[in-house]
Structure 1
């Protein structure tokens, strides 16, 4: 399979995520065994993981770091997008066989997703998209919901095939952030990246994207209302890297809460 998911074909998309960990080896082992990523390299204190030689996750060791504060700005979850629905079915069978704890499972109309938490408290989503041609739009807003996931039907789509790790063309489809004020996040991503607002959940969550995707960035204040600047001495989100078709060189920005957002040229 040589076709990237739609999420990666837009003018701007998520490239990879950096985490800071007190125990990088244990965390890397979790992403290998549970999420199915491959270890691609080690460079000093940083372990790089990915799928089919595509780097997706950098874990930086910092044994002195304080644990992440879920009430602060930071990471809500990193969302790993599998290319096919059958891949998600294989992952679910893998999770059942290994008794992997799952926090939730939802049908969002545009996608089907399961949620879990890594050993250092970082949220994870593992999902697959429905064909983007089938998404329903009401003007600039895409129709999304949170309803029960039909797990038996997804598992049936995998047939007798087994999970062999994250398949080729697995990517990070989106990153969901904890912020102090979703309206401020919406304005910042619109100004700095030209992102469109594609969905809102009241005043507490906003979903933003490039090129008609259902969202590359989510921003919510469910736990972090009025949060100030992040404490750089804590574990959790280190940075988010975006890939841009228009970028001529790498750039580094910080959002209003001090979250580092890197931009790299799309060289594909």
Structure 2
């Protein structure tokens, strides 16, 4: 049940690090299509907004992403308002870059891939549009704020989105306040992966074994912070070295004690030689930091 008062989340995300094949091609994509600024460039390239790094590129891969493995399904870039979401969609149209446009009711989303085939979602959070979730044996349905039953994925009204465009400057870089809002991963077992991320501190929200999907939140009004699926198969191995893939992502704790407890609970998943780093049972790596 959604509430009128926004609740504080205890977990958030820092940058997502990607291993890619071609630095120039990927930088052009993230800068000119997505709208990120290049924040630093050396052996790796940091991109994001004027105030925040969102993606770090490591040009070490020798081949594009491959299917049939655990790893990144998509990283999700959450924008601060409808105008920014409309600006990105208009830029995609101007660049003739295809994106799948979906209305999830609790959010509006654009799905696309980077030049190496790594998944990206552009998200506008709209939890105020949802009254409640209902799960049943065959799946899940949403009851919207007006009491209507809605599907979890509906076709996005692109015209209505573009009507919110505040001006004609579609080349403007991503606004401050844009952030990594969730990470969705392929895993080899939903129960094991959900249990692991619960130890990190995420809160189970949906478990849909018939769809091969599970969802966990971070304590706020928007429930989708970690997505898990088994759509690449059961007990799949991590993506091979040398292929484009996610290297790791950063989880930020609002309280140092929360990070310390999570590190203790997941000590069996420590990565040797990396401080405060963990990997889930299927090789997805993360580093834990405290912002408080």
Task: Give TM class, smaller chain.
Answer: 0.7 to 0.9
Please list, as runs of the form range in 1=range in 2, the aligned pairs for 1:137-156 lying within 5 A after superposition.
137-138=132-133, 143=142, 145-156=152-163
Question: What TM-score, normalized by structure 1, do the two folds share?
Answer: 0.87
**Alpha-carbon shift at residue 139 of structure 1 (Å):** 8.4
8 Å contact from structure 1 (residues 12, 244) kept in 2: yes
Q: Find the residue that maps to 1:31 and give its secondary structure.
A: helix
Q: Find the residue that maps to 1:157 and give its secondary structure.
A: coil
> For residues 166 and 201 of structure 1, what CA distance do their matches in structure 2 show?
34
Q: Find the residue that maps to 2:108 and give its secondary structure.
A: strand
**Alpha-carbon shift at residue 80 of structure 1 (Å):** 0.6
> For residues 123 and 201 of structure 2, what CA distance do their matches in structure 1 show?
25
Q: Find the residue that maps to 2:174 and give its secondary structure.
A: coil
Please list, as runs of the form range in 1=range in 2, the aligned pairs for 1:181-220 lying within 5 A after superposition.
181-191=189-199, 193-203=200-210, 204-212=212-220, 213-220=222-229
Deviation readout 1:8-29 (Å, 9 max, x if unpaired)? x511011110000121221122
Please list, as runs of the form range in 1=range in 2, the aligned pairs for 1:33-112 lying within 5 A after superposition.
33-43=32-42, 45-63=43-61, 65-102=62-99, 104-112=100-108
**Alpha-carbon shift at residue 35 of structure 1 (Å):** 0.7
Q: Find the residue that maps to 1:136 and give its secondary structure.
A: strand
8 Å contact from structure 1 (residues 70, 224) kept in 2: no
The answer as to 2:119 corresponding to 1:120 is: no
Q: How many residues align?
A: 256
RMSD, aligned α-carbons: 2.3
8 Å contact from structure 2 (residues 104, 153) kept in 1: yes
> For residues 219 and 138 of structure 1, what CA distance do their matches in structure 2 show?
18
Question: What TM-score, normalized by structure 2, do the two folds share?
Answer: 0.81
Q: Find the residue that maps to 2:18 and give its secondary structure.
A: strand
**Residue 12 to residue 142, structure 1, CA distance change in 2 (3 Å):** farther
The answer as to 2:265 corresponding to 1:257 is: no
Deviation readout 1:24-64 (Å, 9 max, x if unpaired)? 22112211111100000023x2000011220110001215x
Deviation readout 1:64-93 (Å, 9 max, x if unpaired)? x44332210011111111100121111111
**Alpha-carbon shift at residue 261 of structure 1 (Å):** 1.0
> For residues 41 and 20 of structure 2, what CA distance do their matches in structure 1 show?
14
Deviation readout 1:72-130 (Å, 9 max, x if unpaired)? 0011111111100121111111111111122x111111100011111101011112111
Q: Find the residue that maps to 2:155 and give its secondary structure.
A: coil
Q: Find the residue that maps to 1:52 and give its secondary structure.
A: coil
Larger radius of gyration: 2
Structure 2: stretches of 5+ with no match in the other structure = 1-5, 143-150, 260-274
**Alpha-carbon shift at residue 165 of structure 1 (Å):** 1.8
Structure 1: stretches of 5+ with no match in the other structure = 1-5
